[in-house]
Amino acid sequence: MADITVKINGVELSVPKGTTVLEAAHIAGIEIPTLCYMKEINEIGACRICVTEVNEGRGFRLVAACVYPCSDNMEIRTSSPKVIESRKKTLELILSDHDRKCLSCVRSGHCELQKLCKDYGVEDAAKYDGVKNEFEVDNSAAHMYRDNNKCILCRRCVAVCAKTQGIGVIGANERGFKTYIGSAFDMGLGETSCVSCGQCIAVCPVGAIAEKDFTKPVLEAIADPEKTVLVQTAPAVRAGLAECFGNPIGTNAEGKMAAALRRLGFDKVFDTDFAADLTIMEEANEFVERVQNGGVLPMITSCSPGWVKFCEHYYPELLPHLSSCKSPQQMFGATAKTYYAEKMGLDPKNIVMVSIMPCTAKKFEIGREDQSAAGVPDVDYALTTRELGRMIERAGINFNALPEEKFDDPLGISTGAAVIFGATGGVMEAALRTAYNTLTGGTLIDIPEVRGTEGIKKATYKVGDLDVNVTVASGLSNAREVLDSIKNGTCDAQFIEIMACPGGCVNGGGQPQVPMGIRNFVDIRAERAKVLYDLDKSMPVRQSHENPAIKQVYEEFFGKPGSHKAHEVLHTSYVKRSVN
């Protein structure tokens, strides 16, 4: 495509034809503020925060930089007095119908609206006060709440739900001043076929939607001398937690995270990676059994609870394709309250199992049926990465000054195969490493074809005499494409991995929120995934079946993968759900 010349704040720049004013400014090293804009997802020019002056030979005028294309010899002013005044007035108008209880807001200090108001010197928040909309907070969902009193109608949540996830359970209701974001027929979110993925929370610029916070009961449990409080941390959490404390995207927080959890008072600090290895043992065994005994193929992974709920709502006829394995979170809790409780002489009723997850759907998952191997819930509380960040801050722990510490044994021992679970393709790669060894006795380690952040990836591997076709999908709109191919008979895969969140758990709905000005131009999924792949490469054991702690738990408790005991504790069932 031919280049054109533009002048930004008096400096000439060559950009490809079709480049928007916003993109041209970014190329020039100038960041134009936005609120509604999400690259390729929500390019609607609605909020008007990005207005910029342009001159195409007819004098300067204001345009929405996020959607306005550059023309040859265009002059652009990104911060003229007229631009500054327009943005400031827009912010004042947004505040006129906004609940300004900033001190108690979960986003205070890292709210995109709050920062813009500070940047543009908005001092009189009540300048345009008048009639205000008032809404009841929607607490109907297990994983999150919605507070439309703080909503700024940017529609980011609507776009990511409809386009990225292909679900669309929320949208704009009413018109004009009475417009609000809600579900059809004013249903509570918990009454809809929302899958609890939390991607709407990840992109919300303010505090209008957030996960339900369970840090208080967790701290109460820690303070109870009768309770043994165990904590497990998912692979992706170590790739995101450091961002809560000002560190760059892609910082490995594993050692400091373990240290912080001990200082919060948890009795034992374990690693969900142990259960990821356990999942591979069961899942790889299940796949091999299906292949050898004519079971339902393709087999689809069941690690992502948002994906599982999606299948239950929208493709219930394909539920037999799901692996019966519990997710690593639930496997860990089940093992802790059976094997570990027996080994340590603990009553499962007095064990409080807390998980730290990059995922809001985990909050829904802990309440599912058939997730109580010891007669009590496998996991009692699922906290997001953000909730852990807040706990550490409130406790006065200087995270960045902490030493590097290790997880406790034996449920803290894991392999490189386990840590890559947090990235799209990681579960598939880990399973193939063990399935390949089971079927051939050989070794297959680095599998680049299933890595990367593409929405759908396909590959074929020679495993003994068998050609195994695999598919990896992340983001539920991509999952739809894969599932439709199964229904219409065009899918040739025997094994499929699906993650609800684009890029996998590293981009989960419970991870630290990143301002859209960064998300639009930096692939945070790739940056966080690199942490996990680097850890995998550095670990002495990289295959799940070689984990000594896994070998021990099978010798002492489960017997072998797929045993009756393993099915009682580590496997689950699914239900058909309605679509609302």
What is the DSSP track for 258-324?
HHHHHHHT-SEEEEHHHHHHHHHHHHHHHHHHHHHHT--SSEE----HHHHHHHHHH-GGGGGGB--
Mean pLDDT, residues 346-370: 98
Residue found by looking up tokens 């550059």 in the block: 70
Residue type for 455, please? G
- Is residue 48 assigned to a domain? yes
Q: Which residue has the higher pLDDT, 345 or 442?
A: 345
Instruction: Work out the average pLDDT over 291-314.
Output: 97
In terms of domains, do 251 and 377 share one? yes
Other C-beta atoms within 10 Å of 186: how many? 10
At 1 the pLDDT is 61
| Judgement on whether residues 27 and 114 belong to the same structural domain of the protein | no
Instruction: Residue 389: name the closest of 217, 241, 259 by CA.
Output: 241
Cross-strand partners of 269: 231
**Start-to-end CA span in the chain (Å):** 45
Residue 449 and residue 357 share a domain: yes
pLDDT at 52 over 80: yes
Residue that is last in its domain, among 31, 46, 79: 79
CA nearest to 67, candidates 33, 19, 13, 116: 19
Instruction: Assess whether 197 and 315 both reside in one domain.
Output: no
* Whether the predicted pLDDT of 349 surpasses 70: yes
Q: Tell me whether residue 340 is in a domain.
A: yes
What value does the mean pLDDT take over residues 160-167? 98
Is there a domain that residue 302 lies in? yes
What's the pLDDT tens digit per position in 515-528? 999 999 999 999 99
Q: Are both 302 and 365 inside the same structural domain?
A: yes
Look-up of token digits 């219409």: 488
Q: What is residue 462's predicted lDDT score, i.e. its pLDDT?
A: 87
Range of the domain at 391: 215-570
The CATH number given to whatever domain includes residue 29 is 3.10.20.740
Report the share of the chain in percent with pLDDT over 70. 100
The answer to whether 514 and 249 are in contact (CB under 8 A) is yes
Tell me: the pLDDT tens digits for 394-416? Answer: 999 999 999 999 999 999 999 99
The pLDDT assigned to 426 comes to 97
Final residue of a structural domain among 211, 227, 257: 211
Q: Looking at the domain assignment, is residue 578 inside a domain?
A: no
Same domain, 230 and 206: no
Evaluate if residue 446 carries a pLDDT over 90: yes
- CA dihedral for 108, 109, 115, 117, sign (positive or negative): positive
Task: Check residue 125 and give its pLDDT.
Answer: 75
User: Nearest-CA neighbor of 491 among 321, 324, 323?
Assistant: 321
Q: What does the chain come to in residues?
A: 580
Residue 170 belongs to some domain of the structure: yes
Rounded mean pLDDT of the chain? 96
For residue range 526-571, what is the model confidence (pLDDT) as tens digits? 999 999 999 999 999 999 999 999 999 999 999 999 999 999 999 9
* Half-sphere exposure (Cβ direction) of 319: Cα atoms closer than 13 Å: 15
Q: Are residues 355 and 279 in the same domain?
A: yes
Cβ-contact 487, 409 below 8 angstroms: no
Digit-coded pLDDT (tens) for 479-511: 999 999 999 999 999 999 999 999 999 999 999
Same domain, 111 and 64: no
Q: Is the peptide bond before 403 cis (omega within 30 degrees of 0)?
A: no
Across the range 220-227, mean pLDDT stands at 98
Mean pLDDT of 212-228: 98
Q: Is 576 domain-assigned?
A: no
Triad 346, 561, 448: Cα angle to 5°: 110
251 and 159 inside one domain = no
- 416/526 same-domain check: yes
The average pLDDT across 128-142 equals: 94
Residue 301's closest CA among 330, 326, 272, 273? 326
Assigned domain for 146 exists: yes
Task: Give the pLDDT confidence score for residue 269 in this predicted structure.
Answer: 98
Question: Do residues 206 and 219 share a domain?
Answer: no
Q: Residue 136 pLDDT > 70, yes or no?
A: yes
pLDDT in tens, 165-206: 999 999 999 999 999 999 999 999 999 999 999 999 999 999
Whether 379 contacts 336, CB under 8 Å: no
Please check whether residue 291 lies inside any domain of the structure: yes
Cβ 247 vs Cβ 271: under 8 Å: no
Residue where one domain finishes, among candidates 79, 108, 129: 79
Q: Tell me the C-alpha distance between 328 and 305, whole Å.
A: 10
How many structural domains compose the chain? Answer: 3
Cα–Cα distance for residue pair 17/72, rounded to 1 Å: 8
Q: What is the structure's pLDDT at 407?
A: 98
What local confidence, expressed as pLDDT, does residue 176 receive?
Answer: 94
Between the CA of residue 75 and those of 2, 79, 124, what are the distances in Å? 19, 13, 33
What's the CA dihedral at 168, 240, 332, 469 to 10 degrees?
A: 60
Claim to verify: residue 273 and residue 328 sit in the same structural domain? yes
Tell me, what amino acid is at 69?
P
CATH code, 157: 3.30.70.20
Confidence of residue 466 (pLDDT cuts 50, 70, 90): confident
Q: Domain holding 263: CATH number?
A: 3.40.50.1780
